[in-house]
Amino acid sequence: MKGIWKSIKGRLFLLLFTSTSLLLIAIGLFLYHEVRTTVLGSVDGTLHSKMQVMTGLLHEEHGAIELELSELIQGEYSIPRSGHYYKVMMNGKLLAASPSLVDSGFDLSAGTLEYRDEKTREKVFASVGPDDEPVRVLQYDLKTFGADFSFFVAESLSGSMEIIRTFRNFLLIVIPSGILVVCLTGLWIARHSLLPLEAFSDRIKTITHKTLNERIDTGTETRELTGLADSFNEMLERLQKVFDSEKRLIADASHELKTPVSVIKAECDVVLQKERRGEEYIEAIKTIKEVAENIDAHIKALLSLARLDSGILSPLSFAAVSLNDCIQKTIEMTKPLAEKRRISVTATLEDDITIAGNRDSLAEAFLNILENGVNYNRDNGALEVSVKRKEEKAFVSFKDTGVGIQRENLRRVFDRFYRADSARSEGTGLGLSIARSVIEAHGGEITVESEPGKGSIFTVALPVKQEQ
C-alpha cells in the first residue's frame, strides 16, 4: 500500500517538475530572445539614423563631390576608440573616416553578415572592434554623382551586451529558483493531499471480521474521500449482513438440529440395549426416518433463510413473473397433501397480473402459506385462494377454515422458529419468516387476520410490474 502512495507522489512530483521546468525554460528563452532583439534593434535604429544623416551630407559643388562631415566629427566620432565609427569609400578608395578610427587598425568592412534590410538596402554585420569588443556595423552602398559609394557606420556593443548579459544572468538565477520553489510547493501539496488517503488506508486496516460493525466517519473525511468512504461503508454493510446471516445460520442450525439428533441417538440407544422383535426395529426406523425428514426440512429452510439474508433477491435480477401461473403451480403441489385430509383447495384468479420478481422464491413463499393452510386446517376443511388487482398492487389472499391464531400470537407467526403449539406442530417454525423475507424483498407486504377456531386469512400485497 505504502508503495502505491509513494509512486503516486513520485509521479505527481515528476509531472510537476517536468512541466514547470519546460514551461519556465521556454519563458526564459523567449524573454532572452526578446530582450536581445530589442536591444540590438535599438542599436540598429541608431545606426540607421546616423547613416541617413551621413548620406545626406554628400553633395556635389562645382563638379567636385563633397562630404561635409564636420558635424559628425564633433562628439563621439572624434574620440579615439570611442566605440562609434564611420567610414566612406568612393570607387573603392577611402573618402573619409572618423577620427575615432585613427591608429585603431579596425577595418569596418570586415565582419559576418547578420542580415540585409530589403527596404533600406542596408546590410548589418557583426564585427570585432579594436579592443576585441563586439561591434555592430551598418553598410549602405550608393551609386550617385557617377561614382560608387559605400558608407559604414559602426557602434560598439559593449554596453548593449552588458545589458543582455545581466538579463541572462538574472534569468539563470530566477528560472532554477522558480523551478525549485514550484517543486517544493508541489511536493508539499502532493504529500498533504495524500495524507487523508493514507489515514483512510490506515483506518481500513483496523477493520477486521470482528469489527465489521464499525464504519468510516464520512463527516470528517475530505470531500474527495467522502464518496469513497460511503461506498466502503456500503460494502461493509453488505459484508456484515452476509457475516451475520452466516453466524445466525450456524447458531440456529446447531440449536434447532440438536434436539432431533438427540432423539435419533436416544432412539438408537434404546433399540440397541437388547435383542428386539422385528416390528420394534421397524417402529424405531420409522421414528428415525420421521426425525431425519424433520432435520432435512430444517436444513432446507435454514439454507433458504441464509440465502435471503445475504440479499440474494436483488431487483436487478428480477424477471417478469405471471402471478396466476405461479399460484396455480403451487396449488397443484399442495393438492396431494390436501386430498389426504379431504381439504378442498379452490382458486379465484383475476386477469393475469405480472410481477417483477424471482419465480422460484415467490413459489416457495406461496407454497409455505398454502401448506400451512392445509396443515393447520380441519379435516374436510377448505382453502380458498384469490388474486385481485387494486391500482398498482396485486393482492393474493389465502383463506382457510383451520384452527386460527390467538390474537396475541398474530404478530409472532412471522418470527423465526415461532410455533404456536410446538408440541403439535411438526413444522420448522421458519415457513412464514421465509415467506415474509421473500415478499419484502419484492417490495411487498404480508399480513394476517384470524379468528381462533374458525380460520385465518393471510394476505400478500405485491407491486404490479410497470409496463415499460
83 or 429, CB closer to ligand ADP? 429
Query: Among 192-200, 311-319, 343-351, 418-426, which window interacts with ligand ADP (CB under 6 A)?
Result: 418-426
Give the C-alpha separation, 326 to 336, whole Å: 17
Which of residues 171, 401, 456, 462 is near ligand ADP by CB under 6 A?
456
Residue type, 187: L
Which of residues 373, 385, 399, 465 is near ligand ADP by CB under 6 A?
373
Q: Is 431 in the site for ligand ADP (CB under 6 A)?
A: yes
Give, as one character, the DSSP assignment of residue 452: T
Maximum Cα–Cα distance across the chain: 167
Q: Is 302 in the site for ligand ADP (CB under 6 A)?
A: no
150 or 456, CB closer to ligand ADP? 456
> How distant is the alpha carbon of residue 120 from its chain centre?
64
Nine cell digits for residue 53: 544623416
H or E, element range at 113: strand 112-117
Nine cell digits for residue 144: 550617385
430 or 462, CB closer to ligand ADP? 430
Cβ-proximal residue to ligand ADP, closest one: 427
Give the C-alpha separation, 436 to 365, whole Å: 8
CB of 371 to ligand ADP, least distance (A): 7
Query: Among 3-11, 166-174, 201-209, 420-428, which window interacts with ligand ADP (CB under 6 A)?
Result: 420-428
Q: Is 402 in the site for ligand ADP (CB under 6 A)?
A: yes
Question: For the chain, what percentages of helix, strand and coil (3-state, to nearest 5) are there?
Answer: 55, 20, 25
Q: Is 86 in the site for ligand ADP (CB under 6 A)?
A: no
Q: Is 139 in the site for ligand ADP (CB under 6 A)?
A: no
Q: Is 428 in the site for ligand ADP (CB under 6 A)?
A: yes
Q: Is 400 in the site for ligand ADP (CB under 6 A)?
A: yes
Query: Among 185-193, 230-238, 307-315, 430-438, which window interacts with ligand ADP (CB under 6 A)?
Result: 430-438
CB of 242 to ligand ADP, least distance (A): 23
Unique residue bearing C-alpha cell 553598410? 139
Give the C-alpha separation, 297 to 291, whole Å: 10
Which of residues 150, 330, 361, 372 is near ligand ADP by CB under 6 A?
372
CB of 427 to ligand ADP, least distance (A): 2
Q: Is 432 in the site for ligand ADP (CB under 6 A)?
A: yes
Return contacts of 239-245, CB within 8 angstroms, 24+ apart: 239/212, 240/212, 240/213, 241/309, 241/310, 241/311, 242/309, 242/310, 242/311, 243/209, 243/212, 244/309, 245/305, 245/306, 245/309, 245/310
- Residue 173: count of CB within 10 angstroms of its CB: 9
Nine cell digits for residue 12: 505527481
Give the C-alpha separation, 66 to 54, whole Å: 12
Which of residues 90, 147, 420, 464 is near ligand ADP by CB under 6 A?
420
Coil, strand, or helix at residue 87? strand
| Size of site (CB under 6 A) for ligand ADP | 23
CB of 369 to ligand ADP, least distance (A): 7
Question: For the chain, what is the total number of helices (H) and then of strands (E)?
Answer: 8, 15
86 or 376, CB closer to ligand ADP? 376
Give the C-alpha separation, 389 to 298, whole Å: 35
Q: Is 413 in the site for ligand ADP (CB under 6 A)?
A: yes
Angle made by CA atoms 110, 111, 116, in degrees to the nearest 5: 115
Query: Among 114-122, 159-167, 303-311, 399-407, which window interacts with ligand ADP (CB under 6 A)?
Result: 399-407
25 or 263, CB closer to ligand ADP? 263
Q: What is the CA radius of gyration of the chain?
A: 52
Q: Is 419 in the site for ligand ADP (CB under 6 A)?
A: yes
Q: Is 381 in the site for ligand ADP (CB under 6 A)?
A: no
Integer CA distances (angstroms), 275 to 116, 418, 449, in order: 132, 40, 53
Query: Among 83-91, 178-186, 319-327, 366-374, which window interacts with ligand ADP (CB under 6 A)?
Result: 366-374
CB of 196 to ligand ADP, least distance (A): 49
**For binding to ligand ADP (CB under 6 A), which residues are involved?**
368, 372-373, 376, 400, 402-405, 413, 418-421, 425, 427-433, 456
